[in-house]
């Protein structure tokens, strides 16, 4: 039909002596898109389309013109017989996704988008497309039902979601390829807010995730970055799921400035996954009667970095597991189980405060296996400040360990300072013993240049031991307890 129309115009111009062309983009206003509207005119094409962006056939053959910068959807007043201009929005996102092109935004008018409004949740989000509420928080996307099934937005490639509320899906956001930006979105009662795999990259900016089974699950080399916002209430009523979320295989997680509170379970790292947590707060996770779950849980050989992060309250450990752990700054307070329960790999803790109001609770730091370097920490109010089991090794420098039941308990290897690298620790005023060495294994503990309780067991009035002196076991006093004659402290 278009070709016929152009041919008639050519004949008419020829009759009048005009050598006018009819190519796409000329002043006649025609183009080569069947069912489209030319950017320079509002001419009606031969398929019955109009200047409002409707194609008369109402089918998927309509092609969105590049002059239309965005598409609009309205679940009440929309109509799917068009290409979704602002003044004649489509009714469903499915229609918008069928005609949108990369680089464009689908705007959602206020209302509830659900099966009742015509959504099928069967159309993925094309690559390069953004979805955004016209008014923040007024566009609510609801899944098929309380069973939390289906996916709200399954991204083919890259894209973005902004200012929505998403409820009751199995996967609110799915990403396997490309980068997806999620800004100011509230996720409510979804099984997963994010399900990312392969090489998918998802970034949350100031989002709220609450009352679902888990906030995220990552596999492959997928990446999730969470900046600001809150994760709370995951796994309500002991419903299962990982709680905060799980990174498997070689996936990466970054939290920066995130409030993570009152979740059933942990942020779990598996395989060689990694997590970097900065400037965040983990508060009361595992506290809703579901057992002794932890704030951060590690298994196999993952890597965890905590920077200036607060971990407090909850019935389980603060950090539990095996792998590579680096903790800088921040604090652990009133964590009912051991604050850091480490049983294999490499642990570095520097400039961190550990406190508890009940000296009958477990340790501030427990090293089961592996090696730990502990520098410039403060530990008070614990059953034992530091506990080193038979397979563990701990090097402690510049730290203050006071007001615990026992300062340090050791079955394994312990280095509190050498002549080449003096300890500079203050280990005093712990109610039973400052250093308690258990077992019968032969052990010499270097403890050069530390401060102890004064005027007992060889310490002078300033709490210093004589340089170069030794104290063999067995001995039992407030400063030092050595179980057997095989054990010696060297000052």
In the DSSP assignment, the letter for residue 319 is: E
R_g (Cα) of the chain, nearest Å: 32
Alpha-helical runs (H) found in 105-240: none
pLDDT of residue 266: 87
Alpha-carbon distance of 59 to 131, in angstroms, equals 22
Q: Which of 204, 242, 243, 244 is nearest to 223 (CA)?
A: 204
Q: From the centroid of its chain, how far is CA 334?
A: 23
pLDDT of residue 23: 36
pLDDT (tens place) for every residue of the chain, 491 residues total = 333 333 333 323 333 333 333 333 333 333 333 333 333 333 333 333 333 344 433 344 344 444 568 999 999 999 999 999 999 999 999 999 999 999 999 999 999 999 999 999 999 999 999 999 999 999 999 998 766 789 999 999 999 999 999 999 999 999 999 999 999 999 999 999 999 999 999 999 999 999 998 999 999 999 999 999 999 988 765 555 558 999 999 999 999 999 999 888 889 999 999 999 999 999 998 754 555 578 999 998 999 999 999 999 988 899 999 999 999 999 999 998 999 999 999 999 999 999 999 888 889 999 999 999 999 999 999 999 999 999 999 999 999 999 999 999 999 999 999 999 999 999 999 999 999 999 888 999 999 999 999 999 999 999 999 999 999 999 999 999 999 999 999 99
pTM summary value: 0.84
Alpha-carbon distance of 144 to 239, in angstroms, equals 19
- DSSP labels, 409-457: EESSEEE---SSS----EEE--SSEEEEE-SSS-EEEE--S-B-STTST
pLDDT of residue 58: 39
H or E segment at 11?
A: helix 2-15
Hey, which residues does 370 pair with through a beta bridge? Answer: 392
pLDDT of residue 441: 85
- DSSP labels, 368-416: EEEEEEEES-EEESSSEEEEEEEEEEEEEES-EEESSSEEEEESSEEE-
pLDDT of residue 13: 32
Residues 6+ apart with CB under 8 A from 409: 363, 384, 386, 387, 388, 436, 438
Give the residue carrying structure tokens 């038979």: 390
């Amino acid at each position: 039909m278009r070709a016929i129309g152009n041919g008639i115009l050519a004949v008419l111009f020829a009759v009048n002596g005009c050598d006018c062309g009819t190519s796409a983009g000329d002043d006649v206003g025609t183009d080569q898109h069947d069912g489209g509207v030319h950017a320079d005119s509002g001419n009606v094409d031969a398929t019955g389309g109009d200047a409002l962006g409707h194609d008369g056939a109402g089918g998927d053959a309509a092609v969105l013109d590049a002059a239309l910068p965005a598409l609009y959807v309205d679940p009440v007043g929309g109509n799917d017989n068009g290409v979704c201009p602002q003044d004649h929005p489509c009714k469903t996102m499915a229609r918008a996704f069928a005609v949108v092109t990369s680089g464009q935004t689908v705007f959602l008018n206020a209302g509830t988008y659900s099966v009742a409004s015509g959504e099928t949740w069967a159309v993925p989000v094309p690559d390069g497309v953004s979805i955004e509420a016209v008014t923040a928080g007024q566009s609510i996307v609801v899944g098929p039902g309380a069973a939390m099934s289906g996916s709200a937005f399954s991204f083919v490639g890259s894209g973005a979601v902004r200012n929505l509320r998403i409820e009751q899906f199995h996967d609110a956001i799915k990403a396997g390829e490309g980068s997806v930006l999620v800004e100011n979105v509230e996720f409510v009662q979804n099984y997963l807010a994010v399900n990312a795999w392969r090489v998918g990259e998802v970034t949350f900016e100031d989002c709220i995730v609450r009352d679902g089974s888990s906030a995220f699950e990552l596999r492959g080399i997928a990446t999730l970055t969470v900046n600001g916002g809150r994760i709370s209430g995951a796994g309500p009523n002991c419903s299962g799921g990982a709680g905060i979320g799980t990174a498997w295989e070689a996936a990466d997680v970054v939290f920066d400035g995130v409030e993570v509170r009152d979740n059933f379970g942990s942020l779990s790292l598996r395989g060689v996954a990694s997590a970097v947590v900065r400037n965040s707060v983990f508060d009361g996770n595992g506290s809703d009667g579901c057992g002794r779950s932890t704030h951060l849980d590690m298994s196999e050989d993952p890597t965890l970095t905590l920077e200036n992060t607060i971990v407090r309250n909850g019935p389980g450990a603060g950090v539990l597991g095996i792998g590579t752990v680096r903790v800088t700054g921040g604090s652990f307070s009133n964590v009912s189980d051991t604050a850091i329960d480490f049983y294999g790999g490499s642990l570095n803790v520097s400039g961190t405060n550990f406190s508890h109001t009940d000296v009958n609770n477990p340790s501030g730091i427990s090293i089961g296996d592996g090696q730990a370097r502990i520098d410039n920490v403060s530990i008070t109010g614990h059953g034992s400040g530091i506990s080193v089991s038979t397979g563990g090794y701990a090097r402690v420098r510049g730290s203050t360990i006071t007001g615990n039941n026992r300062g340090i308990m050791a079955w394994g290897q312990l280095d509190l300072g050498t002549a080449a690298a003096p300890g500079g620790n203050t280990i005093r005023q712990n109610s039973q013993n400052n250093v308690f060495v258990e077992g019968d294994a032969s052990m010499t503990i270097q403890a050069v240049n530390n401060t102890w309780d004064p005027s007992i067991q060889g310490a002078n009035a300033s709490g210093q031991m004589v340089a170069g002196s030794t104290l063999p076991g067995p001995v039992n006093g407030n400063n030092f307890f050595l179980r057997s004659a095989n054990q010696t402290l060297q000052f």
